[in-house]
Amino acid sequence: MILFKNVQIPQAEKWLKSDILIEHGRFEELSPNIDRSIVKKGEVVDAEGGFLLPALIDPHVHVREPGFDHKENWETCSKAALKGGFCTIFDMPNNKVPVVDSITLLEKKKIALKKSYVDFGLYIALTDENIEEIMKEEVQCEICGVKVYLAHTTGGLIVKSENALLNVFRQPKPVLIHTGGVQGLERILYFYEKASIQVPSLPILYICHVSTDEEVKLIKKYKKKFPNIFAEATPHHLFLNKSNYTHYNSVLPHLAQIEDSESLWNGIAEGVLNVIGTDHAPHTLDEKKGKNPPSGFPGLETALPLLFEACLDGRIKPTDLLHLTSITARSLFGIGEGEILKGRRADCVLLKEGNFLIGEDGYVTKCGWSPFNGRKIKYRPVMTITGGTTAYRSGKFYKRDISFLTMHSIKR
């Protein structure tokens, strides 16, 4: 049993002061004055007016293990997730040996089940040849989606075959696209539209890391015709732009102009961009500072403080924040709604106020750096609860049974 005294929770477009009782893994009672004496076994947490949000879900994470364990592994990545307020991560398939069949998929699942501190799901990558493999029941049962790389990035998985790009929309799982820019976006929209003539109910088309105004406009146009198109924004494309570029912070897609970032914020307000994915893509600082630096930023530990402050500053509405970081991804991937309501599974994160600097308490991600290092933040996550029990609190991690999520396995 956990009783939070004096927290603020999101309610419509406002923040509501309340106490919250968690019992049997669920939110049991939400009301202004819950008596401390009812907690016989468990603990009372005085939140001192801190904010309690649904724990976040990140549909775009590169855990790196197996193969690139020197950058990150399941333990360090899932701990970074918990520290950042995430209770669930979905892992991308661009490992050293890419995840393109049931053997590589099951090998990764085995490692993750042993080592992960958070619930997780796995993607498989589309190749020119593996659509039949992806369609197999034994693969469909294990994946939360299919990742399609249309352009170069870490891992070198690029799909060229037109048949593959058409047939991927004949399978039911969400299809996630690394477009490589507006041309790739146009290309996949062409195939999606073409598939719509033959396939009665198209799968979700999820556009990863949208970064430019041009892409926002194109997605806005197509969303009117295809409501199953969803688009992702990353914290680094929202909060950084070309002027923040230093020698080691290259990322794909590249940081764009400040006007592009503004367009992403507007896209969020207009419902064109629907999900925040951190695109947590750790590389070591030595790699980043060396010749031919790989692209990618770590992001799990910094997303929530940045977004939450944008919310308090009025850049995003509280309901939009919840949709972007939890509700929408949960509904796209079929894992329940994730709100702080009586009877719901208790996955939540407590944010406390202070004068903090990003990175002053170190990093849990194995790569140990952040492009946001040294930024001032007013709130940071201090406690993450998953399934009603404390998984992270003030620098300490607690392992519990975790769930492997596939799209039709879990309804909470």
Residues that bind ligand NCD (CB under 6 A): 62, 94, 153-154, 178, 251-252, 279, 281, 294-296
Query: Is residue 226 packed enough to be buried (19+ CB in 10 Å), middle (13-18) or exposed (0-12)?
Result: middle
- Find the shortest distance in angstroms from Cβ 98 to ligand NCD: 11
- Find the shortest distance in angstroms from Cβ 154 to ligand NCD: 3
Looking at residue 129, the DSSP 8-state letter turns out to be S
Among 279, 287, 301, 309, binds Zn ion (CB under 5 A): 279
Nearer Cβ to ligand NCD (42/293): 293
The pair of structure tokens assigned to 315 is: 């850049």
Nearer Cβ to ligand NCD (154/403): 154
Q: Which residue has the tokens 């040294």?
A: 374
- Find the shortest distance in angstroms from Cβ 140 to Zn ion: 6
- With CB under 5 to 8 Å by kind, the binding choice for 212 among ligand NCD, Zn ion, none is none
The one segment of 134-142, 168-176, 218-226, 300-308 that binds Zn ion by CB under 5 A: 134-142
Distances (CA, A) of 61 to 35, 193, 293, 376: 41, 28, 19, 25
Residue 48: phi, psi to the nearest 5?
A: 50, 40
Q: Which of residues 289-318 bind Zn ion (CB under 5 A)?
A: none
The one segment of 138-146, 183-191, 197-205, 367-375 that binds Zn ion by CB under 5 A: 138-146
Looking at residue 280, the DSSP 8-state letter turns out to be B
| Residues forming a β-bridge with 122 | 91
> How far is Cα 146 from Cα 342, in angstroms, rounded to an integer?
34
Among 79, 108, 173, 178, binds Zn ion (CB under 5 A): 178
Among 16, 103, 141, 258, binds Zn ion (CB under 5 A): 141
Helix (H, G, I), strand (E, B) or coil at 336: coil
Nearer Cβ to Zn ion (300/322): 300
- With CB under 5 to 8 Å by kind, the binding choice for 232 among ligand NCD, Zn ion, none is none
- Find the shortest distance in angstroms from Cβ 106 to ligand NCD: 21
- With CB under 5 to 8 Å by kind, the binding choice for 141 among Zn ion, ligand NCD, none is Zn ion
Rounded to 5°, the CA angle 124-193-333 comes to 40
- Find the shortest distance in angstroms from Cβ 398 to Zn ion: 28
Nearer Cβ to ligand NCD (36/152): 152
Contacts 24+ apart (CB under 8 A), 111-116: 111/65, 111/66, 111/74, 112/63, 112/74, 112/404, 113/402, 113/404, 114/74, 115/65, 115/73, 115/74, 115/75, 115/78, 116/74, 116/75, 116/78, 116/402
- Find the shortest distance in angstroms from Cβ 245 to ligand NCD: 13
Nearer Cβ to ligand NCD (303/350): 303
Give me the residues that bind Zn ion (CB under 5 A), please: 141, 153, 178, 279
